[in-house]
Structure 1
Amino acid sequence: MIRKDILDWANLLPTWQKPLMDKILRGEKVDEIVLEDSYKIFKIENKLMSDANIVTYVFPQQHEEKVKISQNVKWRGVKNIQGINALADKQILDIIDGITIIYGENGSGKSGYTRIFNRAFISRGDKTLLPNIYLDTKKSQKADLVFEVDGSEKIVEFPSELNNSYCKKVSVFDTTSAINDMTNENEMSLAPVEFAIFEELAKCVLEIKEKFEAEKQVKGNIQGFSDYFTENTDIKNIIISINSKTKLADIENKIVISEEENEKFKTFNKRKAELVALNLDIKVKKLSDLSQDVIKIKDNISKLNNKFSNDQLLKIKNLISEYNRLEKLSNIEGISQFKNEDIENLGTSEWKDFISAAKIYHDTIKHEIDYCILCRQNISDVTVFDKYWAYLKSESEEQLKDRYKDIIKLVSDFEKLDHLTLLNNDSRLYEYFSQNSQDIVLEIQVFENNVKDWSKKLNLSLGKKKWNSKIKPVIFNIEIFDEITDQLEMELKNTNKTSVDNKLKSIQKFLNEYNAKLVAKELLPKINTYIKYLSWLDKAGKCNISTTLITKKRSELFSKYVTDEYIKQFELECKKLGLNIKVKTSQRGSIGSTKNRLMVKNKKPSDILSEGEQRVVALANFLAEASVSKENNCLVFDDPVSSLDHERRNLIVNRLIELSKYKQVVVMTHNISFLLALEDLAKKEGIKSKSQHIQKISDNTGILDETIPWIGMDVKSRISALRNTLQKVTSEYNKRETSDDIQKYSRDTELWCTDLRKTWERGIEEKLFNGAVERYRPSIETQKLKNAPYTKELYSEIEMGMSECSNWMHDRSPELGAKVPTPEELSGYLKHCDDFMKKINKMIN
């Protein structure tokens, strides 16, 4: 059988895996000590560790006799919930043998419980746990899972103790797992218990692999020795080139320091100090900077020479002449047309500025005007404005404006020279000139003053538009700067820096090699360890820890003992659930487990089936997997009939009740007709059933109640509930003191009477028609009409009963008010209804 095949295979495992397998077969925990021992054996086997004694493992068939007899485990519920998914704390959910039905509307907290089940039990559903956002303080998330084991209660703490064999007895089907089945490849989590051996062994092997990878990481992460050496030397290159084949003795020979090298080290250190003391770098930089300063001042003075050259002054003189010519021409061409207009200051610059400004303002007005833009007098017959605008557009006037702009630009340029400083008194160039050529300092200062003086005279001449014939060119002889530059270059050559640098370079090379040998001597112990690590890593690189053989063997045995059974059961489940579509299943191994994929005509079910058909396929897959596992005792279904029509819903009702004959079945639903159908069939088949109501009250969800919702109660349950509520209403009546008390009694009485009327209506369905027609059932059971006791006399009694509990509500007048029934009257209404229902029962039976 399966276990014999596993034991035969276990004897062929590598030696290091056998201690792990021995623990797993004995049902004992594989702790850290066992893992470390197995890892040690792995390293010895692969020559990564010195030889030592290795225990020989042989797995006899007696292992089979040591297997524990399965315990009788039943899930009995959840209690002491705290801080999970907005579920109310300290709720108790009871699970019975047979079928447990948990009814709740959307938002009542069902999904909160489903997430707990997904996290605790075998499930492919959503395992996310959210904190209770309605709590003022954050609580730890926990709950108690209650099991009955061989007749005794066992508590599994959630979520800290989920790796527990009891939790593996329960499997969950929900919407998320259904979607996964339709779209993804999923692990077949329900299989004979022996297959868990492969999963456990694969898990242990992967933990050993983690240890191996971690050790490789540690040994591989030991940094080389490059950072220990500040300079690039031959010794450094030797050290950083070390590999697994390097001999430590070769390194030791390379770093020996002779007496001759010691003496040379002392001499070279002294000579280096002498050469460094020459400060040639500073001298060279100073001469280079001075040379750049000379070039810069030469360039600045050259620009000034150009600005005050004969050619430039002639251009300025011609500009003034051209301006005067254009101004005269403009006056001749344009001013004469205004002689008869009697205009003050005609032709002056002020007059021109005025009409130019007026033109700019005029052009901002986008519509036609016939008035003066200054005084708003009518000017429709005045032509002087047209003359103004024509004058401004004349060619000579336009050219005059351009020359004026040229003059303004020149004036601006010359004004900047008022602040001209060619040679700062605190500059290094001033210091150099003062020490080596005092005359040039004076010449630069004279030139600077002349430039400033002639700039002012030129600006004055440009402002008056009249050339000053005394203005002459200002020229500085810049060739003197070339002589100074040549002199600096000569001084730079005389420093003999290249020769000194070469000497220092040679000295430093020796010193670097000498110091590198000293560093290498200090590193010898680390170098020795490093070489050993590299050798170890070479060997480790040839080792491979893999779960492939484990997965392969599991797949082989899975195909031998499970796959055929699963496929057969899957096809049977599809048939039982009314699905006539050929759905293909395929399995493959994956790290100690088996993956299953569902396909319809080589496509994902989600691509080709309706939503309802997908749900049925997912259910069939879940039930087929569950049937393969003999360890599975309880099945949980969350909204299994979502998206299904009533015919297929009835098939699922039949299948769930059939399952509940030999397994615990838990159903969570918001479908009242589904709940009623399950209750009816369970009762008919003699199956234990228990319905619980999950609801939301204020901000608290997941509040559990033993009573099912009013909408699902039969007549007997409703009359009992009305009797209990009547006691509370009677207490309110007896304690009336204020108008608020009276109004509360009136409102509660009205609600009570409404529920009583609904009980009469329920009685018509359940008693008068003998349950043949009920509003929350998908079909009509015509056979029940044979015993239906309906008569006209009964109709009259029903009409009277319904009227007495509702007429007072409908006939009230806002002006006159209405008498609210007393508790005694309400009790009479209820007795009337109860007596009527009992009478109908006798007629039916």
Structure 2
Amino acid sequence: MEKQKLSLEEIISGWLSRQPKWYSQAMHLALRGEYSSEEIAALAAAACEEAGANLKAEEPITLAPYEQSDLASVGITSREVVLKSITAVNSVNAIKPGSELRFSSTGLTVIYGNNGSGKSGYSRIIRNASTSRSGPKNILSNVFEEKAVPSASFKATVNGHPNTFVWQADNDGYPIFPEISFFDSNCASQEISGRDNEVLYTPRIIGSLTRFSRLVSDVANRIQLASDQIKAVIGVSAVPVDLRDSKRITDLLASKDEAEATRLASAAAMDQKDKDRLLKLPQLIASDPSTLLPTLTRRRNELATMRNQLVGLYKCCQADFIQSYARAQVEESGAEKAATAARDLVRSSSMLDGVGNDVWKTLWEAARAYSDNVAFPKEKFPIAHQGALCPLCQQPLSEEASARMNTFEEYVRGAAEANLTNKRYALKKLVKQFTDAVASVKTGRSAVGMLNEASARESMDRLLRRLEGIDAMQEEQVLAELSVLTEEAGKSIRAEIVNLDAKIKAATESKNPEKVAQLKEELVDLKCRSWVADNKEILVSDAAKRAKKERLAAAIGTCNTRSISNLVSAVSKMEIVERMQESFTYELGRLRADKQPVSLTTHVKTGRQYQQIALEGTREAARNVLSEGEQKIVALAGFFALLDVTPGKSTVVLDDPITSLDHLWRKAVAKRIVEEAAIRPVVVFTHEPVFCNELSDLSLARDVPIAYRTVSRRGTSTGIVIEDLEWEARSVNERIKALRNEAVALRQREKAGDFRTDSELDEELRHCYSKLRSTWERAVEAVLLAGVVERGARQVHTQKLKQLIDISEEDIRTVDDNMSKCSLLTEAHDDPLTAPDAMPTIKDFEDDVKVLADWAKAVNKRR
């Protein structure tokens, strides 16, 4: 047996039974509507009380629990909007400013208009102001006039109260009338696009549950605010660095129990003996060789570094270094002379200025490359033998020119210049060795204070004073002076290093690290106890605060919006998904499209419900497989399914809903529209006269009120509204009704003396008989031939031929006689030989209209 589905009441009640008790009170508030800050505070207090925390509200409020009757308040939509009229105020396409299009408050309003009449302009404004699958679209202003922002005004009744609303193109966003549903070809294309579309209908219960989720979050925020205001006085940063790892202190800082914190703090109490021991321990630790050894070793290493720096300076002041420096100076001077001689030789061999400079060297290198690689690849440059050609001027070289070229090449090869560079580098290296040694000794100035012996400090001070201002190589006399001072300082430091080595050896032999570790551990514990004793009251108070924050955190933990999301999903499945899927299948059947292999799938993404009309058995998008007509009828099924689940009776608007549909689906859509118009106002925009007739006939058969508007153009202006259908778009019954009304109007005018002559009345009657003749033509098509053949339609409805078997000779005679009579009187004929003997009267016209009405009624009745 199939498991019975749970009701909405059962789903919510069952879910609440598994939640904290205060959720019931929150659900009651959310279903009731908006809630106050005081109610949030009361819920927060209830949530904390349930979690064992005390959070009293400033003004206590008694909260009622959820009851199933609460759901009654969310059973209907908040607004019901009936569209009354729309006025194109300014620059809406080419619609004449001030043009008003009115709609009926009940039944069906058909807006008829040819292409380019302005009908679509009105439709676009409605689309941008209502809910549609395609959303708002850009509306152009009149491109032939000065650019302005398109604007319009709406008249509508909201929950029975008349209102006026203003719309402007630059304010498109949330629609003015989200309750009004709109459909056009763009909506159809979007509906079957193969992409996710957000479900346009959200039941009020979903909105209430969303408000419930927000309320629970507000409660969590209120509790969090109270928790944030509870701040501990002492944190880790307030603890001395060397005590932060103490378990005694970390336990107290982490304690969330006031009694436990009191016990821990009391256990740390110190007597006078403990305080005296705390003062003595640092001296004991410092006197132990294990404590002294690192200090001695550090001083020894620093003095060794200072002595090495002195050794480096001392070497730069000795005879070997001085001799090397002097030799380097001589070699650098000799290399300079040799390079100068080479440059002079080049200049003396040349008859031009600039020989030997960089530009000239570039020229010479280019000549070498040309000679070696192109001109004389088998000979080495310069080619200076007798009869050789110059690579530059390409003239034979003389003996003098050959010698000059060899001189130039030797100079460019740069043996003398290279030697000079090397000698200069060697000299500079020795100078740098000396200046670096001086700078190194100067950097040890700060370490002089660690020398124990006054004589050692004095010797270092003398050396450092003498080094002041020395930043270059000095003469031999200065170096000799520095050698003496450096040697004295080095001996003093060496003596201190020897003394330190003895102390380090003694300390190493007598150290006791285990004892020092014990003393240090005891010192840290006594410091911790002393710190705890000094801050006992604060530590105990902070523990109580942490305990309260923990209980508040537990209360915040009950504010589980994820669980609420699961509830929303369950309710959405029942209220939206299942209803939409059932309605979609039902609407496919009503529209005679139940054989289309499509289904409506839904899913939740980022908290929103999405739908997609998909082909069954394939992942291919419906629009890539279905024909245009199939796409349109399937999209219409989705639109009407949305109307089925949407509460209220707000206006529905459809713009050209039958484009791309064949006659069978067109009739099914017309029938479905009329059925919808029986329960709510429906507005249909169309340019199809036959569709107008179908809507008229179906509305008459179901006794659904129907009103007509025709939108036309006049010159460059569009959107001119006539409060009726154009003659060509009217059905036979509508035309008969209009003809009868014209006969009444003629009688009233005749009685009022509006006609100056009989000829004026005759002219009006001829006009009326012209309309009567066209009505007989339409009656032959729609009544006698039952729509088997329709003007303007490609197809022939052969399935209707069986209705034609009852056509009698009397039918043919009636049609022929009345058509002939009308033809004699029509304005299109001007043949005096065929003119009637006498013009008919108004009474004759009424009788002739009655003949048509009775005949059409009889034919329809017998069928």
> TM-score interval w.r.t. the shorter chain?
0.5 to 0.7
Change in 2 beyond 3 A, CA 1:4/1:381: closer
Q: 2:229 matched to 1:214?
A: no
Determine the C-alpha separation between the residues in 2 that align with 1:109 and 1:476. 110
Q: 2:552 matched to 1:529?
A: no
Residue of structure 1 equivalent to 2:109:
99
Task: Report the AA paired with residue 254 of structure 2.
Answer: S
Determine the C-alpha separation between the residues in 2 that align with 1:383 and 1:680. 120
The equivalences for 1:563-712 within 5 A come to 563-573=581-591, 575=593, 581-587=596-602, 596-600=611-615, 601-603=617-619, 605=621, 608-609=624-625, 612=628, 614=631, 616-629=633-646, 631-637=648-654, 654=670, 658=674, 661-662=677-678, 663-666=680-683, 674=687, 687-690=706-709, 706-707=719-720
Residue of structure 1 equivalent to 2:239:
230
Residue of structure 2 equivalent to 1:407:
423
SS at match of 2:218: helix
Change in 2 beyond 3 A, CA 1:488/1:568: farther
Determine the C-alpha separation between the residues in 2 that align with 1:649 and 1:303. 111
Determine the C-alpha separation between the residues in 2 that align with 1:443 and 1:217. 69
Residue of structure 2 equivalent to 1:171:
181
Residue of structure 2 equivalent to 1:441:
463
Q: Tell me the CA shift for residue 60 of structure 1.
A: 7.1
Q: Tell me the CA shift for residue 582 of structure 1.
A: 0.8
Task: Report the more deviating stretch, 391-400 or 315-324.
Answer: 315-324
Task: Report the more deviating stretch, 415-424 or 291-300.
Answer: 415-424
Q: 2:97 matched to 1:75?
A: no
Give deviations 1:160-189, integer Å, cap 9, x for gaps.
Answer: xx9x99966422346478536644455655
Residue of structure 2 equivalent to 1:255:
265
Residue of structure 1 equivalent to 2:530:
514
Change in 2 beyond 3 A, CA 1:523/1:344: closer
Task: Report the AA paired with residue 148 of structure 1.
Answer: T
Q: Tell me the CA shift for residue 484 of structure 1.
A: 4.4
Task: Report the AA paired with residue 153 of structure 1.
Answer: P
Q: Tell me the CA shift for residue 316 of structure 1.
A: 7.3
Determine the C-alpha separation between the residues in 2 that align with 1:521 and 1:88. 84
Give deviations 1:435-491, integer Å, cap 9, x for gaps.
Answer: 5227963997699799533699xxxxxxxxxxxxxx99x988976665444456579
Change in 2 beyond 3 A, CA 1:208/1:3: farther
Change in 2 beyond 3 A, CA 1:619/1:438: closer
Q: Tell me the CA shift for residue 599 of structure 1.
A: 2.0
Q: Tell me the CA shift for residue 660 of structure 1.
A: 6.6
Q: Tell me the CA shift for residue 263 of structure 1.
A: 8.6
Give deviations 1:787-844, integer Å, cap 9, x for gaps.
Answer: 9999xx97999xxxxxxxxxxxxxxxxxxxxxxxxxxxxxxxxxxxxxxxxxxxx9xx
Give deviations 1:186-235, integer Å, cap 9, x for gaps.
Answer: 565558xxx643x2452243134313543564477666653462321444
Residue of structure 1 equivalent to 2:475:
453
Give deviations 1:675-720, integer Å, cap 9, x for gaps.
Answer: 777667666767323466999x9xxxxxx975169xx99999xxxx
Change in 2 beyond 3 A, CA 1:361/1:506: farther
SS at match of 1:633: coil
Determine the C-alpha separation between the residues in 2 that align with 1:117 and 1:258. 75
Determine the C-alpha separation between the residues in 2 that align with 1:555 and 1:344. 103
1:308 paired residue among 318, 321, 337: 321
Percent identical among aligned pairs is: 10
Give deviations 1:568-626, integer Å, cap 9, x for gaps.
Answer: 22343362xxx963102345689999754432124253574368455543332112221
Task: Report the more deviating stretch, 674-683 or 282-291.
Answer: 282-291
Determine the C-alpha separation between the residues in 1 that align with 2:281 and 2:88. 86
Determine the C-alpha separation between the residues in 2 that align with 1:268 and 1:172. 87
Task: Report the more deviating stretch, 92-101 or 563-572.
Answer: 92-101
SS at match of 1:256: helix
The equivalences for 1:98-247 within 5 A come to 98-99=108-109, 101=111, 114-118=127-131, 125-126=134-135, 146-148=155-157, 152-154=161-163, 169-173=179-183, 175=186, 179=190, 182-186=193-197, 188-190=199-201, 196-197=204-205, 199-215=206-222, 217-218=224-225, 226-227=235-236, 229-231=238-240, 232=244, 233-242=246-255, 246-247=256-257
Q: Tell me the CA shift for residue 47 of structure 1.
A: 5.9
Q: Tell me the CA shift for residue 39 of structure 1.
A: 6.2
Task: Report the AA paired with residue 529 of structure 1.
Answer: K
Q: Tell me the CA shift for residue 533 of structure 1.
A: 2.8
CA contact 1:95–1:666 (8 Å) conserved in 2: yes
CA contact 2:269–2:533 (8 Å) conserved in 1: no
1:552 paired residue among 570, 589, 593: 570
CA contact 1:24–1:200 (8 Å) conserved in 2: no
Change in 2 beyond 3 A, CA 1:510/1:606: farther
Give deviations 1:232-275, integer Å, cap 9, x for gaps.
Answer: 14443013332xxx5311211222398855796699689999x9
The equivalences for 1:47-58 within 5 A come to none
Residue of structure 2 equivalent to 1:299:
312
Change in 2 beyond 3 A, CA 1:517/1:615: farther
Determine the C-alpha separation between the residues in 1 that align with 2:585 and 2:47. 40
Q: Tell me the CA shift for residue 531 of structure 1.
A: 0.7
CA contact 1:417–1:452 (8 Å) conserved in 2: no
Determine the C-alpha separation between the residues in 2 that align with 1:227 and 1:82. 70
CA contact 1:693–1:705 (8 Å) conserved in 2: yes
Unmatched segments (≥5 aa) in structure 1: 133-140, 336-342, 457-470, 698-703, 717-762, 798-841
Determine the C-alpha separation between the residues in 1 that align with 2:54 and 2:447. 78
Change in 2 beyond 3 A, CA 1:104/1:618: farther
CA contact 2:130–2:175 (8 Å) conserved in 1: no
Determine the C-alpha separation between the residues in 2 that align with 1:418 and 1:223. 64
SS at match of 1:75: strand
Task: Report the AA paired with residue 226 of structure 1.
Answer: G
Change in 2 beyond 3 A, CA 1:323/1:552: closer
Determine the C-alpha separation between the residues in 2 that align with 1:23 and 1:228. 45
| Number of positions where the alignment pairs a residue of Structure 1 with one of Structure 2 | 666
The equivalences for 1:292-371 within 5 A come to 295-296=308-309, 298-300=311-313, 302=315, 308=321, 345=348, 354=356, 358-364=360-366
CA contact 1:81–1:142 (8 Å) conserved in 2: yes
Determine the C-alpha separation between the residues in 1 that align with 2:472 and 2:652. 109
SS at match of 1:621: helix
Change in 2 beyond 3 A, CA 1:450/1:109: same
Unmatched segments (≥5 aa) in structure 2: 142-149, 287-291, 376-389, 450-454, 700-705, 730-769, 782-790, 798-814, 832-848, 853-863
The normalised TM-score by structure 2 is: 0.54
Task: Report the AA paired with residue 519 of structure 1.
Answer: N
Q: Tell me the CA shift for residue 567 of structure 1.
A: 1.6
